């Protein structure tokens, strides 16, 4: 009996030893697996981080207007560009001699400050946190910044060079840019060269407007803050329209908004009102008398101009060009604002007026183009570090979504920011 118990005890001890060894082996195996997985993750993350850090691409920007040159600056600042090429069919003289003045709103100013733009070294003036400068001055400044970046990035600015199919054929296949930014304006044809559809979505901004422009050669070409006036009504009683009776009607929407902008030499005016069916609005939308709008702009300018500039007289009035009547303000934006050229592994994005354009000039067009560039840095980074085609397509999808959001936001609040407030 004692022998049997001793035998059972021996068997039990062997079983316990085997179980202990099994536990130790399982523990060692689990620990080894965990260490191996952790080591794999660390190595993979390190390699991915190193690959992303080393990832560099070439970028081609078509168009050297304010939006195109800002896009080029975004590309350089992304840290993911090895080679940057900027094309424009215009030569430097034609590019920088344009008389238009641009107004950079606070949001655009903040965006440009983040790109290293030093407004203290740029000819212009400040007013209500807006910066006003001539378009040529702005472009010249951005070109100078790009010149300074040549030590870090291979920057090539090719003015007087048109983007065509012949230009693309001359690029060796292994030297094709990874990203092409099309910013050649509303009349450019670079998208058609790349096979991107020219279909636009046209949407109403729920407002009516008219524009006027006048050039006075005896005045200086200096940046000037814009002038705004609100709740304007016009005496059209001579044409059978009694505005003041409608003005006293509490259900009538607020009147017209006026903006005077540009340099003293090249003056521009924008007149806008929210969409309504008042007698005055109906009349100004349907009138066949082109002199009515000219008289409205004439009187408005003389009433709200700065004290140091001369009034419009009969001579200068003769040279004024303006809309014949009020028209519906509409925003057109490209249905396809980004594309992928699969065979050549090229991502294309469309920016500025090539992507979205307003049929009404408020002087805020550059700001609308800047909105689209706010996602450009992220897009270039994601494209440069993409592992496969899926990653590139996801980056393009996000870029298109942002472009649509820019158009939708402007349609809802753009005129309020640029005209009504």
pLDDT at position 4 is: 47
- Give the pLDDT means over successive 10-residue stretches in the chain (421 positions): 54 66 72 68 48 70 96 95 94 82 95 95 93 94 92 91 92 88 94 93 96 90 92 85 56 78 93 92 88 92 92 81 95 95 91 95 92 96 94 96 96 92 84
pLDDT at position 12 is: 59
pLDDT at position 51 is: 40
As to burial, measured by CB atoms within 10 angstroms (0-12 exposed, 13-18 middle, 19+ buried), residue 403 is buried
pLDDT at position 48 is: 44
Whose tokens are 């949001």? That residue is 107
H or E segment and range at residue 156: strand 154-159
pLDDT at position 190 is: 94
State the Cα angle at 249 between 245 and 254, rounded to 5°.
100
pLDDT at position 38 is: 63
Residue 171 CA to residue 165 CA, distance in Å, equals 10
pLDDT at position 256 is: 95
Cross-strand bridge partners of residue 208: 273, 328
């Amino acid at each position: 009996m004692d022998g049997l118990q001793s035998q059972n005890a021996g068997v039990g001890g062997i079983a316990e030893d085997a179980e202990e060894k099994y536990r130790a082996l399982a523990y060692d195996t689990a620990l080894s697996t965990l260490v191996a997985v952790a080591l794999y993750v660390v190595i993979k993350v390190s390699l991915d981080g190193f690959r992303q850090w080393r990832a560099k691409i070439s970028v081609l920007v078509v168009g050297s207007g304010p939006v195109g040159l800002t896009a080029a600056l975004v590309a350089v600042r992304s840290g993911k560009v090895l080679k940057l090429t900027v094309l424009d069919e215009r030569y430097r003289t034609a590019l920088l001699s344009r008389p238009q003045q641009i107004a950079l709103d606070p949001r655009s100013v903040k965006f440009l400050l983040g790109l290293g733009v030093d407004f203290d070294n740029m000819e212009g003036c400040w007013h209500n946190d807006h910066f006003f400068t001539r378009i040529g001055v702005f472009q010249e400044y951005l070109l100078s910044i790009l010149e300074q970046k040549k030590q870090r990035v291979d920057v090539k600015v090719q003015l007087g060079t048109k983007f065509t199919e012949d230009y693309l054929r001359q690029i060796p296949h292994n030297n094709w840019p990874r990203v092409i930014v099309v910013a050649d304006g509303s009349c450019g044809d670079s998208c058609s060269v790349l096979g991107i559809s020219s279909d636009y979505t046209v949407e109403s901004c729920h407002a009516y407007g008219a524009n006027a422009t006048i050039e006075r050669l005896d005045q200086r070409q200096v940046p000037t803050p814009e002038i705004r006036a609100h709740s304007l009504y016009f005496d059209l009683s001579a044409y059978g329209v009694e505005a003041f009776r409608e003005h006293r009607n509490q259900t009538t929407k607020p009147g017209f908004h006026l903006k005077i902008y540009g340099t003293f030499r090249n003056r521009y005016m924008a007149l806008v009102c929210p969409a309504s069916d008042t007698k005055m609005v109906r009349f100004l939308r349907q009138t066949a008398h082109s002199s009515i709008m000219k008289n409205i702009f004439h009187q408005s300018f003389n009433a709200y101009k700065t004290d140091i500039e001369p009034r419009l007289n009969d001579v200068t009035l003769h040279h004024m060009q303006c809309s014949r009547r009020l028209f519906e303000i509409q925003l057109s934006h490209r249905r396809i604002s980004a594309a992928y050229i699969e065979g050549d592994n090229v991502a294309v994005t469309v920016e500025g007026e090539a992507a979205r354009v307003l049929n009404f000039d408020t002087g805020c067009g550059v700001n609308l183009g800047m909105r689209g560039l706010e996602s450009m840095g992220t897009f270039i980074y994601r494209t440069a570090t993409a592992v496969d085609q899926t990653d590139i397509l996801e980056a393009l999808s996000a870029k298109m979504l942002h472009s649509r959001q820019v158009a939708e936001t402007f349609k809802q609040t753009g005129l309020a920011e640029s005209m009504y407030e």
